[in-house]
Structure 1
Amino acid sequence: MRAIIKLLAALLIAAVSLVTYWCNTQENEFTGEKQHVDMTVEQEIALGLQAAPEMAQQYGGLHSDQAAAARVKEVGQRLVRQTKAGKTPYDFDFHLLADEQTVNAFALPGGQVFITAGLLNRLESEAQLAGVLGHEIGHVVARHSAEQLAKAKLTQGLTGAAAIATYDPDNPASRSGAVVAAMVGKLMNMRYGRQDELESDRLSVRLTGEAGYDPRAMIEVMRILEQASGGASGPEFTQTHPNPGNRVTEIERAIQQEYPDGLPEGLQH
């Protein structure tokens, strides 16, 4: 009888999680895609603003080099002003982090974009910086954070249901079922993360080109990231981000799709 009650409870939790996920569907005006999200744009913006100070502190705070910080803001705002990103409800702001060692850039929900000094110092041109910032803008306009939160809630509900269904207090070994379920859930979300990264690469190609930058600079960024990793990044399947070498093929394909007749003249390299 206890087993039946556990199974029914697990099925109910799983059903509620699935219905909640699939019913929360919105069309993204920027990408034209239908997405499963359960927060508003206003909530995204508020969440990003709330998290920004703490995230910056993890990288030593904002950089004291005002000129370098102004350069990051200038390139970022050019990308926003001269593309459809500027017509979205997001209030973009671009920040240079003090961390000189970490090679990273990221975006919070709602438009707060960060790049570490460790990455900026490795970049060799303004077009490369535009490529990095365009990639992060892509995450924001594609609402990847909102999607990830919705997927995480779904995964949490399903793994919780699996844990209830498989756990036997009289058999400690049954705990391994919950562990396996949690691992599967984590790998599912990591897979989604890789797809988001590739979509942001494609959006960066569009955004940089529209803003007058050469989108091929993103290929050079991938080379820089690969060198920074020292070739010891591990198997792609276990990473949130795709391998930089593998991303080059997707970027080249995106450039071909955006510019089937070739890149226009006068793009900034």
Structure 2
Amino acid sequence: MRFIARLLFGIIAAIVALFTYFTSTQENPITGEKQHVRMTPEQEIALGIQSAPQVAKQFGGLHPASQVQQQVKAVGQKLVRQSSVRDSPYQFDFHVLADPRTVNAFAIPGGQIFITAAMLSRMKTEDQLAGVLAHEITHVVGRHSAEQMAKQQLTQGLAGAAAVALSNPDAPGASAAIARYAANLVTLKFGRDDEIESDQLGVKWMIEAGYNPEAMVEVMEILKAAGGSRQPTEFASTHPNPDNRIQRIREAIGTYRGQAPAGSSR
């Protein structure tokens, strides 16, 4: 009888998890996509602001040179102000991390965007830097983190339901099953579609802000060279192979080039 009760409770918990996921739908005001997300933009912003200091610590803190910080902030804010991103509800801020070895750039929910000193040192032009930041901006306005977190909550709920239904809920294995799905914001991996969207819309933001979109192709070549044949960069480990992205980037350049919204300038 206790097994049947646990089984029924587990089934109910699974149904609740699935119902919550599939009924938590919001339309993205920038992309127009209907997404399964549970967080509001305000919650994403709060989470990002609260998490940013701890994220910075993982990379040795922020770069100490204010001139370096201001350079990146200026490019990032230009992309936001002079593109359709300005219509998003997010509060963008851009940070250079002190880490001189890890070649990486990433965004966390709400508009907090990071680039390591190692990554920045490989950018030879402002346009290339804009390409990296535009890609990460799209992760924010595309709500990719919120989508992935909703999926993790669904998986965690289903794992918890299975643990309750098939085992002793007090056993170590039950909590371990749930713990496996806890994700760190920094290592949160996006799907292939998210990365393609970030490249393609990143091109759009670059063109609208007056940057040369071909620089994003140059970034892919730089990352490919930085990774070498032996060990990929951290950026390459969390993003698709640069070779697989260049063709999609070129297609996006062909699509968006020629569209000149008001305020687009260099």
> Under a length normalisation based on structure 2, what TM-score does the superposition of the two structures give?
0.84
Q: Which whole-Å CA distance do the structure 1 matches of 2:230 and 2:182 have between them?
A: 25
- Say whether 1:84 aligns with 2:84: yes
Q: Please give the per-residue CA displacement for 1:146-198, whole angstroms capped at 9, x wherever unaligned.
A: 111111100111222233444479xx9xx7xx96x998999xx9885332222
Distance 1:197 1:158, change over 3 A: same
Question: 1:131: Cα distance to partner?
Answer: 0.4
| Whole-Å separation in 2 of the counterparts to 1:61 and 1:190 | 20
Match of 1:211 among 188, 209, 212: 209
Change (3 A) 1:110 1:183: closer
Change (3 A) 1:165 1:242: farther
Distance 1:254 1:4 in 2: 55
**How many residue pairs were aligned?**
252
- Aligned in 2, Cα 1:99/1:141: closer, same or farther, shift over 3 Å? same
1:130-149 correspondence to structure 2 within 5 Å = 130-149=130-149
Q: Identity of paired residues, percent?
A: 56
Aligned residues of 1:193 and 1:240 also touching (Cα < 8 A): no
Aligned-partner Cα distance in 2 for 1:23–1:37: 9
1:123 aligned residue: 123
Matched with 1:221 is: 219
Residues 207, 257 of structure 2: 8 Å contact kept: no
- In the TM superposition, what whole-angstrom CA distance separates every residue of 1:197-232 from its partner, at most 9, and x where no partner exists? 221111111100111111121111111212222234
How far apart, CA to CA, are the structure 2 residues paired with 1:15 and 1:66?
Answer: 52
- How far is 1:45 from its partner? 0.8
| One-letter amino acid of the structure 1 residue matched with residue 211 of structure 2 | Y
Aligned-CA RMSD value? 3.0
1:1-269 map, 5 Å: 1-167=1-167, 192-232=190-230, 240-259=238-257
Distance across 2 between alignment mates of 1:111 and 1:16: 31
Q: Runs of 5+ in structure 2 lacking a partner?
A: none
TM-score when normalising by structure 1: 0.83
* Mapped partners of 2:18, 2:68: distance in 1: 46
SS of corresponding position for 2:39: coil
Gaps in structure 1 of 5+ consecutive residues: none
Following superposition, the deviation at residue 79 of structure 1 comes to 0.3
Question: SS at the partner of 2:191?
Answer: helix
**Aligned residues of 2:130 and 2:211 also touching (Cα < 8 A):** yes
Distance 1:191 1:60, change over 3 A: closer
Which residue identity is paired with 2:103? V
